[in-house]
Chains A and B, each alone.
Chain A
Amino acid sequence: MKALRNLPGWETTLVVLVIVALLGGGLLSKDFLTGQNLSFLTANFSETLLMALTMTLLVIVAEIDLSVASILGLCSAVLGVLFAAGVPMPLVILAAFVVGGLAGLLNGVLVTRLGLPSLAVTIGTLALYRGLAFVLLGDRAIAEFPQAYTNFGFGTLPGTLIPIPIAVGVVLAILTAVILHATPFGRSLYAIGANQVAARFSGLQVERTKLLLFVMSGLMSALAGVVYTFRFASARGDNATGFELGVIAAVLLGGVSIFGGKGSVVGAVLAVFLIGLINGALTIVDVSNEILTIVTGLLLIGSVLVPNLVGRVQAARQRRMSRGATVSP
């Protein structure tokens, strides 16, 4: 009955909700279901999509990374400072990834070597990395990146209306899903999340795996930082402030258990799309962000509360039934 926390049909429910959001948006405004609008709207959550992928893996091993949006901001600042200093663009991008990887490594070392709770560590690095972004860039904004690069940010795949960042996100999502669901490494994440001690005793490299995941999260946030900077053609220290909560909300809404051991990439990706579509649908009919904020919060709470209550009702019913019948099932 514990499987109820991760309802087998949760992904199906999310698919239905995504369709409802699409149709609902179409009913609200005839401009919603146009290719142009959907293209614009999906591009808006490409960074969230990217960061949600590695966040899913981290939450499955029962860790969390609150510093993702700050790493995004730090990498954006690195891009801006180095570009302004005249460094060639490929090197600038490489540097952003190195910084992102190192930021993830620091999180990982503090969590796995010192045994600190990731919630506390990444609250600290959330402030630290955002602070470093400001130290690098102050309140300046660096713009005028070469067009070849900004095209990567707000361009679409040739001949289609699919934004390039979303295409990258979907490819990475498929890759992450394959790794998580079809490789021994991916399966080991569930084992670690479900019972860390048991995982260690069965020979899994718990610490090394977690360290790797934190580094991956840092690299993915760096990618999100590159995308964000080019999408808005602007490098600023405060880029994407507060995005971490949206990422975590999407992952949890996607059915990934905060206690670890349960969840799927598909669920998380669907949840990113669901929140993004509701956001877009409400924006197009001029319902201000306030309703969306409330809806996001309620969805997040509901996604955990409803299965809990259903599970409790079922457990109560089962108790009553087993009391009635003497034969054990």
Chain B
Amino acid sequence: MTRSDPVPTPTSSTPPGLLTRLLRAREAGLVGLLLLVTLGTAAINPLFLGVGSVRDLFLNVAIIALLVVGETTVLLMKHVDLSISSVVGLSAFLSGSLFIAHPGMPIPLALLFGLALGAALGSVNGLLVAYGKVPALVATLGTLYVFRGVTYAVVHGGQIYASKLPAAFLTFGTGSTLGIPNLVLLVVLIMLGFGAYLGSWRGGREYYALGSNAEAAVLAGISVTRRTMTGFVLSGAIAGLAGVLYLARFGTVDATAGTGLELQVIAAAVVGGVSINGGVGTLLGAGIGALLLGVMGSALVTLRAPGFYQQAIQGALLLGAISVDMLVSRRAAKHLQAAPERDGRTK
């Protein structure tokens, strides 16, 4: 910015170009790994690619993948939302109660209810972080407890049973349209929509700006408080919707529904290349990350590895992914430094 002499290659375009290339490489690497695991497992047990097991796999991944959308939005801003699992639990239980009280309720209304409930809960996080200046980790850890406590209080030892839910709703949860399970279709549509929003819309790009450099974002005229608030409301709304889908998928729900999902979701996003330091990552990558973790999980089941290995391997995969990321970005940084007089910071 301070230099006045003309530069042959504009500094503003080179870093993003490199970044995009890195991200592309990242996603390509993930897809490669995904193929390797899938084909490797299928070679040992062809049933792995059977219609039923692929369908189950996608249904399992769908809810995590949906939650990843909201978490990615928050992570991009260099915040984190730990409360999503509690939002899922509360939304699943309340929407189930609503169905039992009003069996004739149309399904879209239930989905809207989940969205609205989640948005309301998310706005609590947003208020705390954006206006109360409470660090997101503290605020959402606190609301993780509070929302879960509210769920316990509401549920009071009760349970929602699939047999009490309207048949139409359960058919929605297990049914398919054009051969694709409804839940998967819905999640893919939401991911595409959000991918476009984060990738090309002004509002979406602001999350990246905020996470890359908050001060610069302020100077660029971005309302940090409003953007932060919106991010948390979106993450909450998506978690609320995921709660309704959770109910549709599992039917039977108690007060502990969704416990521990938050770490799986963050793991999927980070494996998919979303930086915990904000500003870096795409929904495509995060979605592939969720899929990869899901495929690994069911590959282990298919290969008859004891279920116990799954968690350890997920953890190792996450560590491997972030380590490789760091090494790659260090090399990239070295390249940038090696380029002569790239920016005026040395002055």
B136 to nearest A CB, angstroms? 10
Q: Is A177 located at the chain interface by the 8 A CB criterion?
A: no
CA distance A237 to B135 in the complex (A): 32
Decide: A128 near B316, CB < 8 A? Known: A119-B80, A298-B142. yes
In the complex formed, the residue of A with least CB distance to B271 is A124
**Which of A141-149, A154-162, A221-229, A287-295 lines the interface with chain B?**
A287-295
Q: Is B43 located at the chain interface by the 8 A CB criterion?
A: no
B312 close to A301 (CB less than 8 A):
no
B229 to nearest A CB, angstroms? 16
A245 to nearest B CB, angstroms? 6
Count of inter-chain pairs, beta carbons less than 8 A: 142
In the complex formed, the residue of B with least CB distance to A257 is B135
Decide: A127 near B323, CB < 8 A? Known: A138-B306, A258-B138. no
Q: Is B84 located at the chain interface by the 8 A CB criterion?
A: no
B132 close to A305 (CB less than 8 A):
yes
What are the residues of chain B within 8 A of A292 when measuring CB–CB?
Answer: 149
A249 close to B145 (CB less than 8 A):
yes
In the complex formed, the residue of A with least CB distance to B321 is A124
B135: which of A131, A295, A304 is its contact (CB, 8 Å)?
A: A304
Q: Is A259 located at the chain interface by the 8 A CB criterion?
A: yes
Q: Is B115 located at the chain interface by the 8 A CB criterion?
A: no
Which among B133, B142, B266 has the greatest number of chain A C-beta atoms within 10 A?
B142
B267 close to A123 (CB less than 8 A):
yes
In the complex formed, the residue of B with least CB distance to A292 is B149
Decide: A291 near B141, CB < 8 A? Known: A116-B323, A301-B128, A301-B134. no
A120 close to B142 (CB less than 8 A):
no
What are the residues of chain B within 8 A of A297 when measuring CB–CB?
Answer: 141-146, 149
Decide: A237 near B152, CB < 8 A? Known: A116-B326, A126-B263. no
CA distance A132 to B316 in the complex (A): 10
Q: Is B1 located at the chain interface by the 8 A CB criterion?
A: no
Task: Name B199-226 residues within 8 Å CB distance of A.
Answer: none
What are the residues of chain B within 8 A of A288 when measuring CB–CB?
Answer: 152
What are the residues of chain A within 8 A of B323 when measuring CB–CB?
Answer: 110, 114, 116
Task: Name A81-130 residues within 8 Å CB distance of B.
Answer: 110, 114-117, 119-121, 123-130
Decide: A117 near B134, CB < 8 A? Known: A126-B315, A135-B309. no
Task: Name B81-126 residues within 8 Å CB distance of A.
Answer: none
B276: which of A119, A125, A249, A304 is its contact (CB, 8 Å)?
A: A119
Task: Name A255-298 residues within 8 Å CB distance of B.
Answer: 258-259, 288-298
In the complex formed, the residue of A with least CB distance to B135 is A258
A289: which of B144, B152, B314 is its contact (CB, 8 Å)?
A: B152
Q: List 22 A-B contacts (CB under 8 A).
A: A64-B137, A110-B319, A120-B318, A121-B322, A124-B267, A127-B263, A128-B315, A130-B311, A131-B314, A132-B312, A134-B311, A135-B306, A138-B308, A248-B141, A249-B141, A249-B142, A258-B135, A288-B152, A297-B146, A300-B142, A301-B134, A301-B146
Binding site for A on B (CB under 8 A): 80, 128, 132-135, 137-139, 141-146, 148-150, 152-153, 259-260, 263, 266-267, 270, 276-277, 306, 308-316, 318-319, 322-323, 326-327, 330
* A-B pairs with lowest CB-CB distance, top 8: A131-B312, A128-B315, A297-B145, A127-B315, A131-B311, A293-B149, A290-B152, A294-B149
Beyond A131-B313, A249-B141, A308-B132: 6 further Cβ-contacts under 8 Å? A114-B323, A119-B80, A120-B276, A128-B319, A135-B308, A294-B149
